[in-house]
Structure 1
Amino acid sequence: MMSDTDAATVHEKGRAVLLTAMMVLSVVAMSAAFVGGATAAQNARYHDDQTVSPGDIVYQGEDDFEFSDDFTRDTLNGVENGGAEGEQLEPPVPDTQPTGTYGDGDGNTVTVTSPRVTDLTINNVYDDGSVNAVDGSSISTGDADNMNVTVEYTFGDAEYIDISVEDESGTDITNQVIDDNTIEETGGSVGLDLSTEDAGEYTVTAQGAGNLDSGDAVETATVELRTDADLGLEVDTDSAVRGDNVEYTVSGGSDGDTHLVAIERSEFRDGVTADNAERVFRNVDDTEAVGVYPDSDDTENIDFAWAKVGIDGTTAVGQIETQYLDDSSVDVDVYDTGVDAADVDDGTDSIDDVSLDVSGGDIAIENPASSYVIGSEIDINGTADGSDEVAVFVRDNADWELVEQGIVVDSDGTFEEEDYVLSRDGGAGSDSLSLPGTYRFGVIDQSDADEVMDDDNTISTSDFNQGTSTTSSLRVVEGELTVDHVSIIDGQVADGETLSIRGTAPGQDSVYVSFYGPRGTYDRIPISTDSEYVFEEEDIQVGNNLGPQLGTDTSISQGTVYMSVYSKGRDNVPGDGSVDSVDGGTVEQQFVSMYKQLNEGSTSQQQVMERIASETTQDSGSDDISRLFQFRYTDPQTTIENVSSASAGEGTVVTGETMTVTGVTNRQPDDNTITVEVTEGPSATQFDLTSAEQWGADGRWNVTLDTEGIEPGTYTVETDDGDSTDRADIRLTAEPETVADGGPDDENSDDGQSDDTVDESSDGTSDDSGDDTADDTSDEASNEISDDDGMPGFGIAVTIGALLAAVLALRRDDRHH
């Protein structure tokens, strides 16, 4: 009798045997399934009369098959959730049979899907076994003897693939060009030989070898067959301007083949370097390599330039850079595939050639036009078709002298050198242009200039004219300093107010405004010019502009002040470039030292002006320019000159008529307002408060007041400009009064307005006190007492100016009181 332990042991052994048996059976089953599946993948049932077994795939349009005995019925139904639920399946399978899973209800199923040819490729097979696809492109008859057709498809378990070939007329030539037209597995191929056929387009068709011959189970591809004689060369234009990039096309070759295109050295432009010769062909588009043969650093040793292009489809495209070619008819050759540069050098004939007419480009100058101001900054520009770069020259005497070279020509044929000072920034030609005169200004193709330019950067007239060039006449003039506006009001500037100034200084980056105070103080401030050489400043302080730099006070005292506007001449140097009695340092440092000496010394106004002039406009050889102005620097002042109406004299207004109040001020109109108010009188409160906001350089202002309904009587009119006030008493009458000659009113009228006073106090601008006075802002500078090229005559000018200023002050004081 077995013990419990023995029973357990026997039980475990039995269990192990059972598990082992189950594993063996599983392996056997899997092996059988694998073998069956492999057999199905390798054999097409249409050709081997195989039945469809459970788990197989059948195809839309498939016929001539039976279900195996494993199925319990001949008609299968769509399986739930299998994509074909509610559908039935039996041979033959319609082209429109819904795809999905079908079964017999006992677990045996098949899948219906669409048959497809997924890829059809026509290859050119090379001697080394490599292939190049040529479907959709071309192949020459010389290469067409060893081709194949490769097909990939999805229905290899049902049918083989048949290959057919038709020519351009639709004739089936399959048996003529293919020995065996059947492909038995996906990825397989058949050989194809078109070498004996005529040039034209051939169509290759792949489809099922049985019933699967429609829809996606059919695929076609074409190949263009060309004879060797079809290889040709074309250019996109028969003529080009030197510098253009000309496109060429090689046609008639086989896809993937390479061809050599060449231009002989005799077609090169004179003076082309070896590096430039290598650029005759551009390495663009279908170009695989460019170069020269033989390879050399000396152009004289080069026989031709070449480019290797690869046929992409039916053509190969490249470009020629005509910049380096002679301006003549240039021959371009193309060679058969397999011909290299050495073969060309040995005399191998080209397959085709083409001629390209290259002409020299045209150059035109747009700027500078006809004149140039010495020292001015301009843009040199124009057009230069056919050039990569241009150079600028000027002719002085017999030869052309270089100004600037290497100016790049853009792709649109234009060139421009911006912000260029012709008289300073270039070579020897710039030195010539720093002197007034009339010159020939020329632009020449840079490569032409390089060929003939001497070591001293000059070109003879004949060489310049033979190159691609153009010339124009250029008149060079000195710059003129103009001052269009200075805001001196009635010959005065009010203490504490700023000046505005505007003018032009062609060729100058800046001008300098100087103030000469009545006690010998010197002050100075620079004003920059804009791109049009216009200078304009609205808030120039009178005095102490220079003080912070000098470390001393340069405030201007009240009294007669002289102001100069100064610019350096064409040499861009003040005076002769140095300051007498000041040693060391730069020119600017020397002038700063002189300014400090003047302000710390005991020199008079006259001496300061003469000293500045001696180092600038009156220095030896100086071409500096200056404009001189005079004004009285005094307290702010606004006065009433006249109060009247249309039918009454000065100081009298008729009720109902418009009261006009006129006066004169030395205030700046942009910064101040003059208010006018009737402050005393029987009906003073009935008058409106009014103001004047604009007046001209003569300082004359006017306002009007309505007197309709105002009670007659004596009234007081008062003005206020914020710093000063003035009062005038007037009589408002009901009727016009007749005034006897020589009466008090005439005296008041004469005292209130004198033409002499106006002439002495201004530069001759209008003394009209009517309504248009406010619009008289005068674009011409007031109080200029010297418009020559310097400040000589200071002695007499200053003396006369001082006397006039004194008379003016007395007249104003008298008029005011």
Structure 2
Amino acid sequence: MAAWSHNEHNNMTKETTFSEKGRALFLTAMMVLSVVAMTASFAGAAAAYNVGDSSDVNSGEMEINSGDAVWQGQTAIITESSQSAESDSVVFNDSTVELEDDDGDWLRDLDVEDGQVEVDTDNLETGTYNVTVNNDGSSSVDYRVEFDLRTHGVTGEFDDATVTNVANSSSSNTSLEIDSDRGDLQTNVSASGLDADDLVSIFTQYDSASELEDANPDNSIVYIDTDDDEIVLDGRDEFTADFGGIDAGDYEFSIDASDTTAEDTANITVTDEEISAEFVNSDVNVGQGDLAEIPIELENTNDAYLKVGDVDNSGFESLVHIEDNSDDGYDQITLNYNTFITGQGDEGEAWSAEEEDVEVTPLNVEGNLSEPLAGTEYELSLGTDVNSDEDDIQSETGTAFLNVQDYEGPSDITTYTVPEDDLGSLNDLDDLNETVVTETNEFAHQDGVIVAIEGYGLSGALDDGELADSISLQIEEEDIPNQEPNPRDLSEYGEFLNSGEDNEYNGTLYFALDLAGTDLYDEDDLSTGFDVTAQANDSAFFLEEDEEIDLEHTISIDERSVEWDDSAESAPAVDGAELTGETNVAPGTELRTQARSVGNFTHSPDAVVEEDGTFTATYDFGDYEPETEFTLRVMDPASDAEHEITSELYDAELPNIELDTDAPSEVTVGEDATLDVTVSNTGGSASDEIEVGVVIGGENTLNENITLDAGEEWSNSFDFTSEETGDVEWSVVAGDNEETGTTSFVEDGGNESDSGSDTGSDDESDSGSDSGSDSGSDDSGGDDSDGDDDGTPGFGVAVALAALLGAAMLALRKQN
């Protein structure tokens, strides 16, 4: 019994144990399920964690009156407070109303629930719709509510296609521009691969939604939905975006209007590449007072910081911020640093960039200057960030040196002339480069005077539109006895020419002066001399004590003159006949000419003055007979200067002998004078023998017969002198051509006579009267028999007479 009892007890104990185990398993399962449920509950709470008030988000529900407009995607709500087209409030007696199009065609029935009707417009096309309330029963009043359904657009675009994810770097910064033709816009913004916290960190300075909620700052985020991982941005605006710390990759942002169907996408690439800023050159050399060009390269960033100098080492420093605002970013940026004005006021004026859309902003300057940056070596430092005080570079990525070379001042003065017509159009060096410019110190009245100050430098001053006060640039009339000098600044008579688009200032300063019509000289008393000066004393920043610069350049201004050459007294009877002359007006000037034979022809071609002061006019005489006389004129359009001669056509197939001579009108006693003689055949065939004779001071210097082929010339030079003051007469014959002149020998320092040689054929000013008197004997290049009959071989009658006259005068002088 006991044993049985024992066994039974054991059995019962087992049963009890199984029951307890089952109960325990059930309780355990319940606890596990409870924990899972609690976990799920907490997890659900975390997923549904939102920041902001959802009521601040456009819901898309809009209570309307008849005549209102609704955006596609919104829900139009009609209540018994809504005004109908009949100007009465709507009354709903039935459970449904009709939605009709603008033509009154039925589209579908709408339910009346809780005293209102909702019209879902997601799938409706734009247009006009009617909600018609057909009330049955005793009321028998129908209502119609009309509304216009419209659409609007929305666009989203990042300012940069690529950014880095380097934290605290400008290379990770960009902006998202959201725009729309609708005003009260809110947009839901999300991107695959980014959660709500990522979006918060991109569009605010906070790292998570909870951190933003705790800070509760004013920002453009209206609402954060951590369940859908999207944020709501308010308005049409540019929203700053910082991708620092975001995983590298390509992201497509969805930008959806929060209450309509309008949507767009914006794409951006995030890279994890390093950012850097480097100098292109390790050394930048610049003259003191000039513009220094400092090229830099930015890698994966649009911002950099550059510092010139160190106040402890060089006594000066300037720190600036460089920002590249261009769409694609420049591979290289060239900064211009003005060493003439830096440190002397507005530092922003000292810095600029050659590229557009690049801003250079001064942050810190130490060491106030009163003159151009001193000539020495300055360390250049470049980086991608600055310290909190914005007075030093924090993340240095490149170094170089700025070598400022001491300024030495102007070195020389040169002058050039330009045509009177072109002077008014000279505004910069591009204009000067396109103008005929000729170096000279002899000017014709009214022509432009270009003064070149070589070695002037100081491009920084010119870039600022100024000249250096320490250098005086003046012009004054040459010293006149008993009169005080009256120097005048060059700027009173013109302006300096600065860089153009194609021609940059290279250190030579060009002044374009218009001296005509000013008080500088009397136009009725020309042949005036002037001194152009560049001066500086030891008060200048570049000169030591007792040092000075005194440059002087003399110019003269004369009346405008034009004159035909002797060769123009005859012209070949051919088309394309070229007649030449000389003038003192500026090369490049257009002169007017006229060849007129009464009853035969009038030709008026222009002639352009060449660099050597000659001009050539081309005429077509091929239709006219040889020996036809005509009047030949040349006129200067800028003045009343003109010259008229009589010329004659000759047979171009026959020889045509011309004589040209040149000798000085005045020479110092004891010095040599030179008589240059040129005989040319401008005809179309070889000449017979030509008698060439030269008499100087009554002595036969040359007696020679020559022959010239067509187009050939013969030339020779003859030196002569005198040991006492007086006049020496000379004469030259070549066939039937003769020229005479006089050279005066004067004591050193004697009064100057008219410049140029006293040469030309007899009665040269008589408009070609010699041509008329000689035409009967000048048939075929020379009548040799006339020269031989006077018993003096190789000489013409005139030369022989001149020789006899010289001998008689010499004998008389000896007798006295």
Q: Which interval holds the TM-score relative to the shorter structure?
A: 0.3 to 0.5
TM-score normalized by the length of structure 2: 0.39
Counting strand residues as a fraction of each chain, which structure ranks higher?
2
Counting helix residues as a fraction of each chain, which structure ranks higher?
1
